[in-house]
């Protein structure tokens, strides 16, 4: 099923998306949009919703169209969402998992097509040479939507290809395209799926915005987030040897990823590593301050809506949070001169890593969804990824005992168990990561740098603050996990986590988060 040629405007198929249909779509979305997993502004009142651009893509009895939606809210800039819908008689249904749309998207990549929209265009951008059609088949038999929680919608096509439909879009090049293409074209690192191409939109408000990405699908045994929780729950909350072994492998692959990103040649300016300078430290601190103020304000606004036990914890954290900036602030005069800024993953956690028969595969280089594209594309300390994984291990330790898998775990008798399990996994991860980082050339960080503990603690606390805002918006039932981490970070909570401990340095006990 081929996309239409560039000649001709929307309406080639008789345009079944007239004003009445668009009005029907908007009416249905106004009621359902706040409940969508990928809708980011759940906590804000929706004051307006409109279609700012659209294109009919597929004709016939069940036509499919693409829509760019503008959602407005009081006192802030609008957000833009991409969606595909199909008509079935008088009903409108999401089309992201429909085989006809999958065929259309793969055909567009094979032909590198450009499709006109009402006010702009959609452009298919293949990555590298064509693969002979094996991963871009002309006919699609089966499309399976991935049901795990995420802020986008991904579908597996015939078990060979995976297409991610980005939901909330923003102008600019996207790291979810840039980073995998760099790794496959300019490095030996292969623990990421091979990119096949992307779909981008250009229009009046968007010189360029990513709408979707297509990659080779790697058969896998599931993500580490699900696997770790199951194995931890099955062991009563204590990390079994199988989990600790995977943590070591994960740290090795993480170090190898950072080594590949730190090896970018000087002529590739978007990726070439740069030394950390005083201005960078000031920028990181400003970002931390913004994240802190946002989390503090959102916690204050949401506190009364939380259930009583969590509300008590939130109130305690709210009282202690003002102590956090002084405990974590970065100071240029303390060092950091042995560290590099590179491109990083940016949203690194256990759910982004898949276990396969041949090793671990890292997914989703889009970055943290609440941050701007400029922030997500900026060169950062690779320790920001390390901090994300340390926080994810802490999440897994708590989730395994708070929501046990059926028949796999006993009731929790020792409330300190999640903290101790988290600590053990974090220590194992850091021990291996420092070993890889210390042996790598070029070296993006010196494990013996005395400024390293503070830099790592800085990134871990920023991640916990980000998590607090994220959970308040997307998953209020999980908000107690970052709250407990922040309580520890202020020094007011038990079970300190040794995020700054650097194994292999005799006589150093480390400063706890």
Mean pLDDT value across the chain = 88
Domain check: are 208 and 327 in the same one? no
Range name among 148-152, 254-258, 259-263, 462-466 with the lowest pLDDT average: 148-152
Last residue of a domain, one of 184, 216, 248: 216
3-state SS, residue 118: coil
- In this predicted model, what pLDDT tens digit does every residue of 397-406 receive, in sequence order? 999 987 555 4
3-state SS, residue 11: coil
Above 70 in pLDDT, residue 187?
yes
Report pLDDT for 1. 59
Q: What is the pTM of this model?
A: 0.87
Alpha helices in 1-124 (DSSP H): 19-32, 99-111
Instruction: State the sign of the Cα–Cα–Cα–Cα dihedral 170, 175, 178, 181.
Output: negative
Alpha helices in 93-139 (DSSP H): 99-111
Q: How confident is the model at residue 502 (pLDDT cuts 50, 70, 90)?
A: very low
Q: How far apart (Å, rounded) are the C-alpha atoms in residues 159 and 135?
A: 9
Alpha helices in 52-206 (DSSP H): 99-111, 175-186
Structural domain range at position 94: 19-216
Q: What does the pLDDT average to over 164-168?
A: 95
Locus of tokens 């802490």:
394
Q: Has residue 437 been placed in a domain?
A: yes
Q: Has residue 5 been placed in a domain?
A: no
Q: Residue 474 belongs to a domain with what CATH number?
A: 3.90.1200.10
Domain check: are 388 and 284 in the same one? yes
Q: Has residue 369 been placed in a domain?
A: no
Report pLDDT for 405. 52
- In this predicted model, what pLDDT tens digit does every residue of 235-267 receive, in sequence order? 999 999 999 999 999 999 999 999 999 999 999
Domain check: are 448 and 336 in the same one? yes
Percent of the chain with pLDDT over 90: 68
Length of the chain counted residue by residue: 513
Q: What does the pLDDT average to over 216-240?
A: 94
Above 80 in pLDDT, residue 3?
no
Q: Has residue 503 been placed in a domain?
A: no
Last residue of a domain, one of 216, 243, 271: 216
Domain check: are 188 and 41 in the same one? yes
Report pLDDT for 482. 96
Q: Has residue 108 been placed in a domain?
A: yes
3-state SS, residue 157: strand
Above 90 in pLDDT, residue 317?
yes
Phi–psi pair at 125, nearest 5 degrees: -120, 100
Q: How far apart (Å, rounded) are the C-alpha atoms in residues 286 and 512?
A: 23
For residue 223, what is the DSSP state?
Answer: B
Q: Has residue 224 been placed in a domain?
A: no
Domain check: are 346 and 482 in the same one? yes
> Between 411 and 441, whose confidence is greater?
441
The H-or-E segment that residue 209 falls in is strand 206-216
CB atoms within 10 A of CB 308: 7
Q: Has residue 155 been placed in a domain?
A: yes
Q: What does the pLDDT average to over 374-390?
A: 95
Checking DSSP bridges between strand 161-165 and strand 206-216, what pairing results, if any?
A: antiparallel
Residue whose C-alpha is closest to residue 303's, from 315, 295, 293: 315
What total number of domains does the chain contain? 2
Contact 306, 300 (CB under 8 A): no
Q: At what angle do helices 452-474 and 278-302 cross, to 10 degrees?
A: 30
Report pLDDT for 134. 66
Q: How far apart (Å, rounded) are the C-alpha atoms in residues 487 and 496?
A: 10
Domain check: are 187 and 39 in the same one? yes
Q: How confident is the model at residue 448 (pLDDT cuts 50, 70, 90)?
A: confident
Domain check: are 256 and 117 in the same one? no
Report pLDDT for 342. 97
Domain check: are 283 and 134 in the same one? no
Q: What does the pLDDT average to over 204-230?
A: 94
Above 80 in pLDDT, residue 496?
no
Q: How far apart (Å, rounded) are the C-alpha atoms in residues 339 and 188?
A: 23
Last residue of a domain, one of 187, 216, 245: 216
Point out which residues pair with 153 in neighbouring strands: 165
Q: How confident is the model at residue 494 (pLDDT cuts 50, 70, 90)?
A: low
Above 50 in pLDDT, residue 435?
yes
The CA-based angle 333-337-339, given to 5 degrees, is: 130
Report pLDDT for 15. 57
Above 80 in pLDDT, residue 135?
no
Contact 195, 136 (CB under 8 A): no
Report pLDDT for 227. 96
Contact 457, 331 (CB under 8 A): no
For residue 344, what is the DSSP state?
Answer: -
Q: Has residue 102 been placed in a domain?
A: yes
The CA-based angle 263-383-284, given to 5 degrees, is: 105
Domain check: are 239 and 338 in the same one? yes
Cα 151 to chain centroid distance, Å, stands at 8
Domain check: are 264 and 304 in the same one? yes
Q: Burial, 135: exposed, middle or buried (Cβ in 10 Å; 0-12, 13-18, 19+)?
A: buried
The CA-based angle 40-42-45, given to 5 degrees, is: 120
Domain check: are 43 and 91 in the same one? yes
Report pLDDT for 507. 30
Q: Burial, 47: exposed, middle or buried (Cβ in 10 Å; 0-12, 13-18, 19+)?
A: exposed
Domain check: are 207 and 254 in the same one? no
Above 60 in pLDDT, residue 335?
yes
Contact 380, 341 (CB under 8 A): yes
Report pLDDT for 286. 94
């Amino acid at each position: 099923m081929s996309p239409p040629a560039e000649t001709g405007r929307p309406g080639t198929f008789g345009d079944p998306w007239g004003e009445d249909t668009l009005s029907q779509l908007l009416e249905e979305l106004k009621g359902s949009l706040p409940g969508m997993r990928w809708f980011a502004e759940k906590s804000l009142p929706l004051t307006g919703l409109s279609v700012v651009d659209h294109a009919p893509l597929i004709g016939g009895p069940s036509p499919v169209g693409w829509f760019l939606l503008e959602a407005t809210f009081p006192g802030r800039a609008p957000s833009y969402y991409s969606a595909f819908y199909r008509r079935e008689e008088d009903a409108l249904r999401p089309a992201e998992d429909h085989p006809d749309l999958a065929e259309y998207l793969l055909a567009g990549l094979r032909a590198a097509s450009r499709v006109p929209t009402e006010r702009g265009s959609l452009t298919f951008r293949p990555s590298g040479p064509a693969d002979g059609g094996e991963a871009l088949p002309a006919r699609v038999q089966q499309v399976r939507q991935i049901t795990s929680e995420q802020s986008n919608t991904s579908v597996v096509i015939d078990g060979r290809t995976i297409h991610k439909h980005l939901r909330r879009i923003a102008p600019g090049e996207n790291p979810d395209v840039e980073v995998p293409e760099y790794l496959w074209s300019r490095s030996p690192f292969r623990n990421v799926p091979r990119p096949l191409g992307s779909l981008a939109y250009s229009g009046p408000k968007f010189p360029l915005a990513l709408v979707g990405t297509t990659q080779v699908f790697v058969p896998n045994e599931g993500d580490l987030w699900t696997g770790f929780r199951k194995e931890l729950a099955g062991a009563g909350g204590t990390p079994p040897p199988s989990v600790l072994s995977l943590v070591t492998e994960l740290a090795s692959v993480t170090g190898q990823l950072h080594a590949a990103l730190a090896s970018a040649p000087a002529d590739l300016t978007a990726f070439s590593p740069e030394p950390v300078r005083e201005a960078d430290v000031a920028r990181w601190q400003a970002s931390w301050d913004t994240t802190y103020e946002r989390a503090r304000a959102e916690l204050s606004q949401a506190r009364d809506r939380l259930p009583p036990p969590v509300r008590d914890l939130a109130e305690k954290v709210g009282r202690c949070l003002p102590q956090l900036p002084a405990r974590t602030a970065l100071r240029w005069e303390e060092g950091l001169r042995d560290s590099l800024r590179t491109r990083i993953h940016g949203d690194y956690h256990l759910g982004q890593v898949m276990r396969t028969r041949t090793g671990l595969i890292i997914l989703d280089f889009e970055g943290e969804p609440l941050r701007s594209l400029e922030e997500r594309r900026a060169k950062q300390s690779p320790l920001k990824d390390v901090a994300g994984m340390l926080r994810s291990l802490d999440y897994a330790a708590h989730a395994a005992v708070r929501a046990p898998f059926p028949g796999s775990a006993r009731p929790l008798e020792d409330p300190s168990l999640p903290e101790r399990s988290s600590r053990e996994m974090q220590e194992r991860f850091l021990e291996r990561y420092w070993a890889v980082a210390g042996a790598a050339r070029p070296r993006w960080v010196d494990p013996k740098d005395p400024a390293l503990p503070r830099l790592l603690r800085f990134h871990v606390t920023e991640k916990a603050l980000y998590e607090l805002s994220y959970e308040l918006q997307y998953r209020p039932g999980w908000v107690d996990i970052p709250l407990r981490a922040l309580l520890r970070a202020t020094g007011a909570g038990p079970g300190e986590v040794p995020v700054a401990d650097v194994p292999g340095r005799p006589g150093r006990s480390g400063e706890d988060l």
